[in-house]
Structures are given as structure tokens and as C-alpha cells.
Structure 1
Amino acid sequence: MIPFSPPYIDDDIIKEVADTLQSGWITTGPKTKLLEEEIAAYCTVEKALAVNSATSAMMLVLHWFGITRGDEVIVPAYTYCATALAAMHIGAKPVMVDVGDDFNIDPEKIKAAITAKTKAIITVDFGGWPCDYEKIYALLKSADVKSKFTASNEKQQQLGRIMIMSDAAHALGAVYNNLPVGKCADITIFSLHAVKNVTSAEGGVIAFNMPAPFSNEAIYSTMRLWSLNGQTKDAFTKSAAGGWEYDIVYPGFKMNMPDVLAAMGLAQFRAYKKNLLAERKRVFDFYNEAFALHEWAILPPFKKTGSGSSYHLYPLRIKDINEEKRNAVIERIAAKGVAVNVHFKPLPMLTIFKEAGYRMADYPAAYKMYCNEISLPVYPQLNNDTCKIVADAVCKAVDAVALK
């Protein structure tokens, strides 16, 4: 069996986690702080906050911006459910927009979705490929779109426009117009879930890049406090001799990341910067070279001067094939012992959104991308011989199904 996305665990990761276990301190403390600092430096932002998941991170940011019942948050129709659920969890309505041929939200289609109720847009860097932030910012800063924006609180008034929050769950390590993802949107959310390029088993990181006159240091301090039940001292600080006294100054949440998970993420992130990202690119490039020989293959459109993917996914599309045949191809690949996946079922295909009135027919591009897409394994442990087994299994499956 060739699994789809096993975690990368080496001796350095085991040692870092063991060091935390032996330290006597396993919840939020120095390792979490160090992970925050290293990711902030990598993204060239002042501050980053580690929390228990990317979903929690998105909820926390939307709540901080004062988004609530009656507000609208624009999301792509082609994404994982958490993007929309984060808005729903705080009472807002997700407004879906179709995607372009790079799997990302289509900037040309955003404008029609904006109303006076729109408070934020959650972009998604699909598979690790950055959205066109330049076009999206130009749209949101245009006079006619800004004139529609209705601020409901001081933060929204201070920004004076719709906030851009990037769901960069796939995109740690990606680059857009020579800027690291994390430095492209107002606020960026990374996922450290078990299947991501860098994992802490479960976790998320918020990178703060709000424009002046906002203080990203102050925003970090506020959200850190809110992620710890609104408590003025974290457990590590309280544990110091004589440091027991604290106060609760906000009805916050329990969203903090513990050190035992941060230790895993820290060691992973150091290896990622050193060679794991480059190894993912090697696998991605191998597939590109192998499938470029076949007329039926639509390669991922992840090329642009000054920009680069994090190579989280290899979303191969098969020309002139429907959903039923795509599924038949997957079955044949699986029979060869190769695990593949599909990213994603567009949101309107899921029961919770269908029951809320969203219609797949309104998002034809998303459905077109979905029905012929197969995500192939991409991770550092795959050597070139294994990549060839994957590619051969895909080609034979496609040939067998397409010739029927």
C-alpha cells in the first residue's frame, strides 16, 4: 500500500516531543511561544498565534472583527466545509462564489456577491497555490465596493473595508508575488492538522498582517487572552512561585495549543524549511513530467513568475471525463494499492448546505473542477520509484476507463 498522506516523523521530532514530556510542562508554554515566533519570522510578520485548530482560528478572527448574526462572509464554493462553518459558528451567513481554473476563488465573480452586509471574505489557497490577492485587494479597495461597506464597530470602521482573511490551511511555505503567504492577506490562517505539510497532530496558527493604524502586537495579545478563556495569566505564568492570582476579563474560548503538540510542530517546521518543502516539490515535479506526456491530463496550473506553491496537493484533472468515470478510475488505482483522494466535494453538494438552500447549479466551474479531479499522494517519504508506481497506476486506470 502507498498511503495518501502519512505524517513525517523522524528522530528530531521524537526528541523534541520527548523533551517536552520530560520537562514537566506539557500545556501552553515556552514551546508554543517558540513555534509562534518561528512561523512569524518565516512569514515576515510581527506576530503569530498558535491555537488548537485552523477552524478555531478562523472563528476567533471573525469574532474579533465583530462579525455576528445578520452579517455575510464570502467564501469559495470549492473548499473544505470548515471555511464556511467558521462563519456559521459565529452566526454569520456564508455567501459562496465560484472558482477559476486554478481552483481558487474567482476575483471577477466576487463583486456580484458583495452587499451592505458583507464584512469579510475568506480566500482559500487551494492545494498550496495562492489566490490572486492583488486583484482581490484592488476590488475591495475600489470606491464603489468601499461605498457599500457598513461598519458595525470601531475595528470595522478603522479598516474601512471588507477584511480579507486567508484560509491558508494548505499554503504554509507558498509565495505570492515574492511575498510569503502570511504576508498577503490582512490575517492568514494556517492548519497544522495531521495531513498538512507541517503538523502538530492538531493545531492552527494565525499570522497577523493588519494595516496601520492597527497594532498587530495588540491584536495578538487580545486574541491570545480570548483563546485562554479571557484569563489574564496563562497556566505557565500562574505556575511561577507566587503567581497564582489572575482575573477573567472577557468571556473567551478554550482554543490554546499545548506545548506537547507545539513541540511536534516546531521540529516539523524546522525540517520543512530545511528540506521537506523541497522534497514535496520534487514529487510534484515528477508527476508533472510524467503526466505531461498524456493528452488526457490537465496538470495543476500552479505556475506564475514570483509565486510558488507549497505543494500540499497534486490535483490532477482528467480531460473529458465525468464524475462517474472519475470514481471508476479511483477504484482501479486503489486496486493497485495506491491511495488517492478528491479535493473537494464543493460545499453545495454537502447535505448541510443543500438543506440551507445552496444549489450546485449556481457554481458550474466548481462542479466542473470537482468531477474530473484526483489528488495524488505528495509527501517527502515518496521516492522516485514510488512516484512512478503511482503515476503508472493512474495512467493504466485512466486508459482502462476511458477506452470503455
Structure 2
Amino acid sequence: MIPVFDTTRQIKKYRRQFIKTIDEVMSKGNFILGSKVAQFEKEFAAYTGVKFAVGVASGTDALMLSMQALGINNPGEEVIMPANSYPTAFAVVSTGARPRLVDIDGSFNIDPLKIEKAITAKTRAIIAVHLFGQPADLQKIMQTANKYNLPLIEDCAQAHGAVYKNPTLPSGLRGASKKVGSIGKIGCYSFYPTKNLGAFGDGGMIVTNDEELFKKIKLLRMYGEEERYKSVLQGRISRLDEIQAAILSVKLQYLDKWNERRREIAGKYRSHLENSPCRLPPALPFTKHVYHLFVIRTKKRDLLKNYLEKKGIATGIHYPVPIHLVPSFKSLGYKEGDFPESEKAAKEILSLPMFPELKDSEIVKVAQEINSFLEKK
């Protein structure tokens, strides 16, 4: 079976480095907020191009703590987010706020032209999700955010290392191209094992250039303590542990290389599927996609998925139901038809195998089987 993701191939290749760094942690006996976490926070901040980074327990916690640090914690407050980003919605409601949904455009990201209409007196922030590794149209989103004095939170859970190039600035100008996470008020990352930069368990990171927010988030991640047992804020426990930080520090050295391989794989898929009736994912000119997922679209999605499975090819659907049609979000008051682009995409999208260690022969087989099936139908 050709898997959608396979972490074992990467582990096998870098096993000695992982064991060495884990052994270093064990020999020191400090597993919580030690030197490895501090080191990785510094490295990831530098990599992203920001001043500060705070390691937390998960990507969901990163979003939740970011909203809490921004003062979003009251029922009735609203946070604007795309209608198709399933995990993000759970972070919003966990703060007590209400997701204010906006439909997507052809890039699978929030439609920047529809955000302003969704803003109300209760709006407290905008979340731009860089879904599948494709940066959202941040220049347009930031214009709206600035107009209404709303903080922009970047959900970078699937976009480690992705780059946004401001289309209004000359390409060679300093600051014209920035990594996602460094453009809004706060950037949030997940290190779930299958991410472009994945841990051996859960983990997350918050990045920012705002020193006051940085200090507040550091307090919030551990009981709100300035020092042990001296709590000045009602925080919680959400810490990136030493072993995960050690592993991620090793992996960060290879992230750009792995992302380049993902783009290479995407190019091969495009080449082999260019004459296929399926729709290929857009690669916007003002972005540097990192292809956490390679997502095609076809109205015969379910039939194709079943066919590929029989041929030994695993696929995924990210995500099969838009937020407003998920039963647990019925209380939001939306109905079917409110977000037509998100609804249509949910019925057509299919995630193909995508990870840096995917073999060229496997890419060819996947593409051949897709072409074979769709040409017959």
C-alpha cells in the first residue's frame, strides 16, 4: 500500500540523530521547559523571521492561547475564520468565542473579498489558515484587518516554511517575501507527527514580534506563573516537552530540503496529471507553496478513492464536512447552502500521497491509476 503519509521512512533515515538527541535529554533528566525547548524556540523564531517563539502542547493550544493573550475569552465575541478549516474551529470555541465563518476561494483558503461583510461589532480577530501549505492572500486580508483594527492570527499548522510574497512590492525589496507566521500579529504552528515539521507526538509553537504578547503567552502556558507558585494570570498547562523539542531541533535542519522535495513531487504529479479531467491544486504566483497536502478535485471523488484503495493507494479527505454542517457546530445557526464553495470542495477534494520520502515510482503509479480510472468514466 502506498500511504498518504509515512513517518517510518524518515525515522529510519535519521534514526541515529534522533536517538542521540533523545539520549542527551535522558542523561540530563530534565523533561519540561529545559535547554532543548529554549534552544528550539530560538531556532524556530530565527527560521520564521520573528523575534519571539513559545513552545506549547499542540497547534490547537497555540491558537487558543493566542486568542486568550489577545483578550478573547468572553461568550458572544466572534472570530472570523474560513468555513472549511475543521481543526481551527475547535480552538475558537474553546475560548468561549463564536466562529464567524467566511467562504473560501479557489485556493481553498479564506476568500479575502468576503471578510469585510462578516465583520460585526462583536468581531475580535481574523484567523487566516494557510491550508494544505498554500499561503492565504495576506496582503488583502491585512488591509481589511488594519481597516477595522483587528489582529490577524495566522494558522500555519500545515505551512511550515511557506513564503508569502507581497504582490504590491518589488520582488527584490527587503521584506517583500516573508515566511508565513511572521506577517500577522501572531503565527501558530502544529508539530503533529505528519506535518512538514513533525514531532514524535503532539506539539505546537506560537511566534510573534510583539514582546508584550510574548511575555503574556509564556505566562499563560504554565498557570500564569511569574515564578513557581506565584500566578499573576489564570493560565493553564500547555508546554512543548524537552524530547519533542530535541527531535524538532534536529528536523528543522532539514525542513527546507524536505519542502523542496514536496514541491518536486507536486511538479511530478502535475506533469503526469496535466491531461487528466481532475482539477489540480492552484499554485498562486505570490506564494511559495510547501505542499503539506497535494489535493485534487473531481466530482467522482468517492468512486476514485475506492478505486485507488483497491489498487493499493491510500488517499485522504481534508476535510469531508465544512464547519457549519458538522453536528457539534449546529448551534452556530448556519444552514446548508450558506458557504457554497466550501460545500462543493468538501464533496470533490482528494488528498494524494505526499511526504518527502515518497518514491518517484510511487508518484507515477498514483498518477497512472488516476488517469486510468478517470479516462474510463
Q: What is the TM-score normalised by the length of structure 2?
A: 0.91
Q: Distance in 2 between matches of 1:190 and 1:199?
A: 10
Q: Give the Cα separation in 1 of the matches to 2:101 and 2:229.
A: 43
Distance 1:79 1:280 in 2: 22
Aligned residue for 2:81? 75
Give the equivalent residue in structure 1 for 2:155: 167
2:204 is aligned to 204
Could you report, residue by residue, the CA deviation over 1:281-300 in whole angstroms, capped at 9, with x for unpaired residues?
11111111111122x12111
Give the whole-Å Cα distance in 1 for the aligned partners of 2:37 and 2:372: 46
User: Which deviates more from structure 2 when the two are superposed, residues 167-176 or residues 221-230?
Assistant: 221-230
Q: In structure 2, which of residues 302, 310, 322 is the aligned counterpart of residue 327 of structure 1? A: 302
Q: Whole-Å Cα distance in 1 between the matches of residues 330 and 219 of structure 2?
A: 37
Distance 1:136 1:332 in 2: 40
**Whole-angstrom CA distance in 2 between matches of 1:115 and 1:303:** 30
The offset of 1:106, in angstroms, is 0.4
- The alignment-based identity, stated in percent, is 32
The DSSP-based 3-state class of the residue aligned with 1:365 is helix
Shift, 1:219, TM fit: 2.2
CA contact (8 A) 2:83 2:103 kept: yes
Partner of 1:289: 271
2:268 is equivalent to residue 314 of structure 1: no
Q: Alignment partner for residue 249 of structure 1, among 232, 256, 268?
A: 232
Contact 1:338 1:393 in 2 (8 A): no
Shift of 1:232: 2.5
Residue 288 of structure 2: SS of its match in structure 1? coil
Q: Between Structure 1 and Structure 2, whose CA radius of gyration is higher?
A: 1
Q: Distance in 1 between matches of 2:22 and 2:336?
A: 45
**Aligned equivalent of 1:14:** 19
* Partner SS state of residue 141, structure 1: helix
What secondary structure is seen at the aligned counterpart in 1 of 2:71?
A: coil
Decide which moves more: 167-176 or 347-356.
Answer: 347-356
1:111 corresponds to 2:116: yes
* Aligned counterpart, 2:285: 304
Aligned equivalent of 2:318, options 324, 343, 352: 343
Which moves more between the two structures, 103-112 or 390-399? 390-399
Determine the structure 2 residue equivalent to 1:219.
Answer: 213
Structure 1 segments of 4+ aligned residues over 6 angstroms from their partners: none
SS at match of 1:360: coil
Mapping of residues 3-402 of structure 1, within 5 Å: 3-7=3-7, 8-9=10-11, 10-11=14-15, 12-67=17-72, 68-80=74-86, 82-142=87-147, 146=148, 161-177=149-165, 178-200=177-199, 201-209=201-209, 216-233=210-227, 246-273=229-256, 275-294=257-276, 296-305=277-286, 307-318=287-298, 321=299, 325-344=300-319, 345-400=321-376
Q: Could you report, residue by residue, the CA deviation over 1:309-335 in whole angstroms, capped at 9, with x for unpaired residues?
A: 1110101112xx2xxx31111011011
Task: Give how far 1:6 is off.
Answer: 2.0
Query: What is the root-mean-square deviation in Å for CA atoms of aligned residues?
Result: 1.5
Tell me if the contact between 1:72 and 1:94 (Cα under 8 Å) persists in the aligned partners.
Answer: yes
How has the CA–CA distance of structure 1 residues 272 and 14 changed in structure 2, closer, same or farther, with 3 Å as cutoff?
farther
| Shift of residue 246, structure 1, vs aligned partner | 4.7
Q: TM-score, normalised by structure 1?
A: 0.85
What letter is aligned with 2:151?
A: M
The question of whether the paired residues in 2 share the 8 Å contact of 1:57 and 1:204 is answered with yes
Give the Cα–Cα distance (whole angstroms) in 2 for the partners of residues 131 and 356 of structure 1.
24
Aligned residues of 2:222 and 2:236 also touching (Cα < 8 A):
yes
Aligned partners of 2:112 and 2:141 also within 8 Å:
yes
**AA paired with 1:250?**
L
Residues of 2 paired with 1:88 and 1:116: CA distance?
18
- Residue matched to 1:156: none
Q: Which amino acid aligns with 2:128?
A: T
Contact 2:70-2:213 within 8 A present in 1 as well: no
Matches of 2:272 and 2:28 in 1, distance apart?
48
Query: What number of residue pairs does the alignment pair up?
Result: 358
SS in structure 1 of the partner of residue 189 of structure 2: strand
Do 1:120 and 1:162's aligned partners in 2 also have CA atoms closer than 8 Å?
yes
Structure 1 gaps of 5+ residues are 147-160, 210-215, 234-244
Gaps of 5+ in 2: 166-176
